[in-house]
A and B are shown apart, each in its own frame.
Chain A
Amino acid sequence: MAELLVVPALLAYGEAAFAYAGELRGPGLAGRLATWGVRLGWLAQTALLVGQAASAEGFPWGTWAGSLNLFVWLVVGAYLIWGCTPRYRLLGLTVMPVAAALLALAWAGGGTAVDDGERSGAVLAVHAALMLAGFAGLMLAAGMAALYLWQERRLKRHERGVLKVRVPPLEALDGLAARSVLGSLVLLTLGIGVGAASFERGDFDAAMAVTLGVWVTYASLLVLRHEGWRGRRAAHLNLAGFALVAIVLPLTHFAA
């Protein structure tokens, strides 16, 4: 029964994705509807995850689809911290369509089913949760970077309607993306540390290499920020790092 909750969650996320597009025409009802869609969808997905956790004997999100399900929940949860305020509402335009698409993919892959999970130890569960939370924060940071580049382009091109759409200020997007990266790096560091605790010689694989590459990319972003890598350059590096997370890492992790 609980697995049916993916339907209202998906519908609500999809509604939010469309409504944020409506918010582009001008702030108002569309944005408020979108925010409520995100809230209700997240509540439904929370209930689904609770149902999965309650009926599973082990960690129920060990498959690629299950991880995706948990990942989407973390991303949307992180988004809700800022996205409910009118000032940052438009961030949903970059986050929610991707979240809805990923949840649909997770559903198609069986990641939202309520059944016995794979038996796995607590260490692996904590490692997976920390890593997914870290990646969720990086996805949010990528969303902010994308929004920064879009708004910067509009300002550079002197678009007439540049003040009509309520986009967060450029400095705020840049600063928030950096803070999001910092928080995510902390989570990733803890996750890598927990994973390393059960590491054995010969365990090092392509996925771990890419994960370390992601960590180095984002750590470099924070260091270079002090040398003047802000604004557009930081946004591009942010998106490059997320390309590693979104494309390369799943291929190396789940294709093996």
Chain B
Amino acid sequence: MRYVEIVSTDVDSFGDEEWDDLRAHLSEDEIAELGMFLVGNLGFHTFFGSLKFFPMFSPDGRLVSQEESAAIYGDRPESLQGEAAE
């Protein structure tokens, strides 16, 4: 989670110390897997956030309008909160 946070918000601060920290807990194969997961997700949070669309279903499984969904889930993904603070 520390790795993902650094990549998302301050990649320039990632150095040997952070790498050693990551390697202490994850194998090289696991880091490759985590990296691919990031590639498949990180950028989409920003892109889809800019398109302003929201989940079709409420947490209890109801099909809801985009307006109601925005009210339920908020109009800004939590993944973008770090950018908002910058």
Partners in one complex: no
